Chain A
Amino acid sequence: MRSVYQRVQSWLETSPPALLASRREQAELMFRRIGITFAVYGDKDSTERLIPFDIIPRLLARSEWLRLEAGLVQRVRALNMFLADLYGRGEILKAGLIPHDIIYRNQHFRPEMAHWRVPHDVYVHIAGIDIVRVDENDFYVLEDNARTPSGVSYMLENREVMMRLWPDLFSRHSVAPVENYPDELLACLRSVAPPMAGGEPTIVVLTPGQYNSAYYEHSFLADKLGVELVEGRDLFVDDNKVFMRTTRGPKRVDVIYRRLDDDFLDPAVFRADSALGVAGLMSAYTSGHVTLANAVGTGIADDKAVYTYMPEIIRFYLGEEPLLKNVPTWRCREPEALAYVLDHLSELVVKEVNGSGGYGMLVGPHASKAEIAEFALKLKNNASNFIAQPTLSLSTCPTWFEKGIAPRHVDLRPFVLTGADGVRVVPGGLTRVALKEGSLVVNSSQGGGTKDTWVVDDISGGAM
Chain B
Amino acid sequence: MLARTADNLFWLARYMERADFVARIVDAALRLSALPKAYGGDNGEWESALSSAGAFERYNEVHGIIDARRVIDFLVFDERNSSSIINCIEQGRTNGRAVRTALTVEMWRSVNDGWLNLRYYQAMRQEGVDYDRERLAELIEFVKKTSLDFDGSAYRTMLRNDAYFFQRLGLYVERADNTARLLDVKYNILLPDTEVVGGSLDYFQWTALLRAVSAHTAYYWVYRDGVKPWLVADLLILREEMPRSLIGCYENIVRFLDAIGRAYGRQGAAQRHARNVYSRLSHANMKDIFNAGLHEFITGFVEDNNLLGTEITHQYLTY
Contact = CB atoms under 8 A, between A and B. Distances in A.
Interface string B259-277: 0100010000000000000
B97 A246 contact: no
A35 B317 contact: no
Interface centre among A209, A219, A222 (most CB of B within 10 A): A219
B264 A247 contact: yes
A234 B109 contact: no
Interface string A238-263: 00000011111000000000000000
Q: Is the interface of A mostly helix, strand, loop or mixed?
A: mixed
Nearest to B115: A40
Interface stretch (B1-9, B152-160, B174-182, B242-250): B1-9
In this complex, the interface size class of chain B, counting residues with CB under 8 Å from chain A, is: 20 to 34
Interface string B88-113: 00000010011111000100110010
A106 interface: no
Contacts of A347: none
B316 interface: yes
B101 A223 contact: yes
Contacts of A248: 264
B162 interface: yes
A245 B100 contact: no
Contacts of A209: 98
B2 A210 contact: no
Contact of A247 (B97, B105, B116, B317): B317
B126 to A, nearest CB: 14
B109 A33 contact: yes
A247 to B, nearest CB: 4
Nearest to B265: A248
A248 B266 CA distance: 9
Interface in A431-451: none
B97 to A, nearest CB: 5
Given A244-B2, A247-B1, A229 B317 contact: no
Nearest to A229: B101
B319 interface: yes
Interface in B94-153: 94, 97-101, 105, 108-109, 112, 116
Interface in A118-177: none
B97 A210 contact: yes
Given A40-B116, A219-B100, A233 B4 contact: yes
Contacts of B260: 247
Contacts of B316: 247
B317 to A, nearest CB: 7
A234 B102 CA distance: 15
Contacts of B166: 247
A38 interface: yes
A381 B99 CA distance: 47
B199 to A, nearest CB: 54
A231 interface: yes
A234 B3 contact: yes
Nearest to B98: A210
Contacts of B97: 38, 210
Nearest to B123: A42
Contact of A228 (B2, B100, B109, B162): B2
Contacts of B105: 33, 35
Instruction: Please report whether the interface of chain B is mostly helix, strand, loop or mixed according to DSSP.
Output: helix
Contacts of A234: 2-4, 319
A353 interface: no
A56 interface: no
Contacts of B317: 247
A168 B316 CA distance: 51
Nearest to A244: B2
Nearest to B260: A247
A83 interface: no
Contact of B319 (A33, A222, A233): A233
Contacts of A210: 94, 97-98, 100
Contact of A245 (B4, B99, B162): B4
A230 interface: yes
A156 B284 CA distance: 58
B2 A246 contact: yes
Nearest to A236: B319
Given A38-B112, A40-B116, A231 B101 contact: no
A9 B184 CA distance: 72
B161 to A, nearest CB: 11
Nearest to A227: B101
B110 to A, nearest CB: 12
Given A35-B108, A234-B2, A245 B319 contact: yes
A223 B100 CA distance: 9
Interface string A22-39: 000000000001010010
Interface in A1-48: 33, 35, 38, 40
A247 B98 CA distance: 17
Contacts of A35: 100, 105, 108, 112
A58 to B, nearest CB: 28
A314 B66 CA distance: 77
A230 B112 contact: no
Nearest to A230: B2
A219 B101 contact: yes
Nearest to B97: A210
Nearest to B101: A223
Nearest to B7: A247
Interface in A209-229: 209-210, 216, 219, 222-223, 228-229
A210 to B, nearest CB: 5
Given A35-B112, A40-B116, A234-B319, A246 B98 contact: no
Contacts of B1: 228, 246-247
Interface in B1-43: 1-6
Nearest to B5: A228
Contacts of B108: 35
Contacts of B116: 40
B123 to A, nearest CB: 9
Given A245-B4, A245-B318, A246-B3, 5 more contacts: A210-B98, A210-B100, A245-B3, A245-B319, A248-B264
8 contacts: A38-B97, A234-B2, A234-B319, A246-B1, A246-B3, A247-B1, A247-B2, A247-B162
Interface of A: 33, 35, 38, 40, 209-210, 216, 219, 222-223, 228-231, 233-234, 244-248
- By Cβ-Cβ distance, the 5 closest A-B pairs, closest first, are A245-B319, A223-B101, A247-B316, A219-B100, A245-B3
